Structure 1
């Protein structure tokens, strides 16, 4: 049987945690900035096909916003 040893540098782990938090903050800021333009799309024209397509893409934007909020909620605990 082989025994493996793991050595951890606390400073490196702390730096990685800070870097990960910074990435998470940047993603959250980008999501917040994009929320309005991806969830409330205006129809390209006044016809019902354009309205249906705008609604479809708006729904996808809302779903994305809901899904992207999940990792943030888990990370913040």
Structure 2
């Protein structure tokens, strides 16, 4: 979701969010977060180390969150 430019991509460290597992909602409490420009993060350095390369195939093929975020379909 964040890599596709969704709202999670606009969150920064320190932003306040409220997660309600019962209602199934995530609310951004920090003003102005959703108005921030959409910047695609550079994740080139995150592909290797601590076994991350073993799961690269899953990261490369995972589907959208709305479809279950699975790499199998």
- Shared fold, TM over 0.5: no
**Between structures 1 and 2, the one with greater helix share:** 1
TM-score, with structure 2 as normaliser:
0.25
Whichever of the two has the greater Rg, that structure is 1
With normalisation by structure 1, the TM-score equals 0.24
Higher relative strand content: 2
